Amino acid sequence: MRCAFICTLRRWAFDLIELDGDDLRHEPIERRKAALAKLIRRAKTGLVLNEHIDEPGDVVFRHACKLGLEGIVSKRLGSPTAAAARGTGSG
């Protein structure tokens, strides 16, 4: 007997650090996420944008715990990537 399973794989994207060879690490997170959202809309590949939640960290943490999530990705609005802030990495 043969069984077939159909699985849906979803990958969650939360940041975009490079686009078409351009280093975006110094751009504010809002611009990087806007560019990422545009790419995801065009791709239609099961890639899901991790939307911004405008709530205090403790509220987000409690909600994540209630949902049984593994973790939280947190970025301050207007911020570059951590590597850009430290001056590390290429570019």
What is the chain's mean pLDDT, rounded? Answer: 83
Residues 6+ away with beta carbon under 8 Å from 55: 63
- Residue position matching structure tokens 């650090």: 17
What is residue 88's predicted lDDT score, i.e. its pLDDT? 60
What's the average model confidence in pLDDT over 47-73?
89
Q: Is the pLDDT of residue 37 over 60?
A: yes
User: What percent of the chain stands above pLDDT 70?
Assistant: 85
Q: Judge whether 33 and 40 are in contact, CB under 8 Å.
A: no
Residue 6 located in a structural domain? no
Residue 24: give the domain boundaries: 11-84
What are the residues facing 12 on neighbouring strands? 48
2 lies in some domain:
no
Please give the share of the chain, as a percent, with pLDDT higher than 90.
40
Is there a domain that residue 23 lies in? Answer: yes
Q: How many domains does the chain have?
A: 1
Spatial separation of the C-alpha atoms in residues 7 and 16, rounded to whole Å: 26
In a domain, 44, yes or no: yes
User: Is the residue at 68 inside a domain?
Assistant: yes
